[in-house]
Amino acid sequence: MKNKQIILLFLCLFIFLISGCWDSNELQKLCIVAGMAIDKGNDNTKNRFRITVQIANPPQVAGDSQGGKMQASRVTNFTETGSTISETLRKISNKAPGELLFPHLQVMVIGEDLAKEGIADIFDVIERDSQFRVLFPILISKGPHSAKDILEVTTTLEAIPSAKIVEALRTSERYWGAYKATRVDEVIKGLKEGSFPISGIQMKGDLKAGNSIKNVEKISPNTIIQLKGTAIFKDRKLKKWLDLNTARGVTWVMDEMKSTVINLDCGMKKDAIAANVNRSKTTTDVKIKNNKPVIYLTVHAEGEILENNCSLDLGKSINLDQLDEKLEEEIKIELLQAIKTAQKEKSDLFRFGEKINTTDKKLWKKIETAWENDIFPKTEIHVNVQAIIRRTGMITKSYR
C-alpha cells in the first residue's frame, strides 16, 4: 500500500516534468515570416546578401479594419546584411521582437542583381534547415527596383503583400499561363541540372508612395506590384528575360498550360476573335536519327470561343475549322519562339535531356557533357499542334 502511494507521488511529480518541451514557444512571441527578399549586399566578401523578412502583424491582419482605425501596418519588414543567409537572419533578431518562424514562409523574391551574379548560395540553408519547407515559390524582381522594394508595397484585398504575390501567381498560372510558380525544390533541381525558368515580378509606380498605408487608402493605388517576364537561368545565373508570348511558349513546351486566351485574326481585322484554351497536353517524343536526337513536340489543345468581334458566322462548322487552323498556327508560333530563344541562349529549359536519356541512355551518356552548349542549339525540333474549338458559347453569330 505504501509503495503505491510513493508511486502515485512520483507520477504526480512527473506531470510537471514531462509537460514542457525544451523548445516550447508562446505563439504571440513568435514572428511569423510571410515573405523574404534577398538582394545583393554592398560588398562581396563581408556582406554578400541583403535580406528582408516580412513579418505578419496578426492583430492588424485579423482585426476588422472597417470599424476601427488603422494604426499600424499589417506587416513589418526588417532588413539586414550578411555573408550567409543564416547569419543574416540571426542578425535580424537584433531588430525583431521575437524568434523568426519560417514554416509559414509563402514566397521568396530574389533581386535581379543577385540573380545575375548567381543564386547557387541561397538554397542550401532552405534544404538543410528543417524549419524551412521547400514548397514555396521563388520569384525574381525585374529591375529597376530591388527585391526589398517589392516587399515594401502595401496591397489591398490581401492584407499581407507576400500572400498577395502568391495569390496573383496562382491565378495567373491558372488563367493566363505565362508565368508559372517555380517551387524551391524545382529550382534546386534546375540548379543541379542546368537551365530553368523563374517568373519575374515588378513594381510599378512610386516607391515612396507604395511604402505607406496611404497607398491602399486610394481606390486605384499609386504603386502596385505585378508579375512580369520569365527569367531564364543558366549555370546558376540569370541570362535573359523572356517577354509575354515567349514566356507562354515555355509553358506550352513544358506541358504546364492550364488555360489561357489567344487572339485570332478574322479576315483583315487583326486579333478580332478571342479563343479560350482550357485543355492542353504537350507530349515530347525523341527519335534518334544518325546518332542525333530529333525532338517531336505534339500539342493537343481544346478550347472555345470567348469573343467574336467580326461578322464570321460561327454556326457553320467550316468557319470553325478555319479558326482551328489559325489557333494551331498561333500556338505553334509561340512554341517555336520559345524554342528558338532557348536554343539561341543555349539553355535546355525544357529538360529534353531527360527525355533523351529515357529513349537512349547510351547515346545520352556520350552527348551529356556537350548537350546544352553544342548539341541542343543545333537539334532539330518539330512542333505539331492540333487544336479544336469545341464550343462557341451561348450564341453562334455575333450581333453585328
Partner 1 sequence: MEKAKISAIQLFALMFIFDLGTALIVSYGVTAGKDDWLSILLGMSGGIILFFIYYPVYRKYPDLPLTSYIGEIFGKYIGWIFGFLYCISFLYIAARNVRDFGDLLSSSTLTETPLLVIHTSFVLVICYVLYQGIEVLGRTAEIFLFVLILLGIIGNFFVLVSGDITFQQIRPPLEHGWGPIITTAFPTITTFPFGEMFAFMMLMPYLNKTKLVKKTWLSALICSGLILSWTAFLNMTVLGLDVMERSTFPTLATIGKVSLFDFIERLDAIVVLTLLLTVFFKAAIFLYSAVIGIVDLFKLKNHQQIILPVGIILIFTSMTIASSFSEHLEEGFDASIKFVHIPFFIIIPFLMLVISFIRNYIKKRSNAK
> How many chain residues touch partner 1 (CB under 8 A)?
17
367 binds partner 1 (CB under 8 A): no
135 binds partner 1 (CB under 8 A): yes
397 binds partner 1 (CB under 8 A): no
Sign for the CA dihedral angle at 194, 198, 203, 204 comes to positive
Least separation in angstroms between residue 170's CB and partner 1 is: 10
130 binds partner 1 (CB under 8 A): yes
Toward partner 1, which CB reaches closer, 71 or 358? 358
Q: Which CA distances in Å does 62 have to 71, 76, 160?
A: 13, 15, 11
Least separation in angstroms between residue 361's CB and partner 1 is: 5
189 binds partner 1 (CB under 8 A): yes
192 binds partner 1 (CB under 8 A): yes
* Residue among 95, 214, 218, 361 that touches partner 1 (CB under 8 A): 361
Toward partner 1, which CB reaches closer, 255 or 265? 255
Choose the stretch contacting partner 1; rule: CB under 8 A; options: 15-23, 59-67, 144-152, 194-202.
15-23
103 binds partner 1 (CB under 8 A): yes
26 binds partner 1 (CB under 8 A): no
Give the residues lining the site for partner 1 (CB under 8 A): 21-23, 103, 127, 130, 133-135, 185, 188-189, 192, 354, 357-358, 361
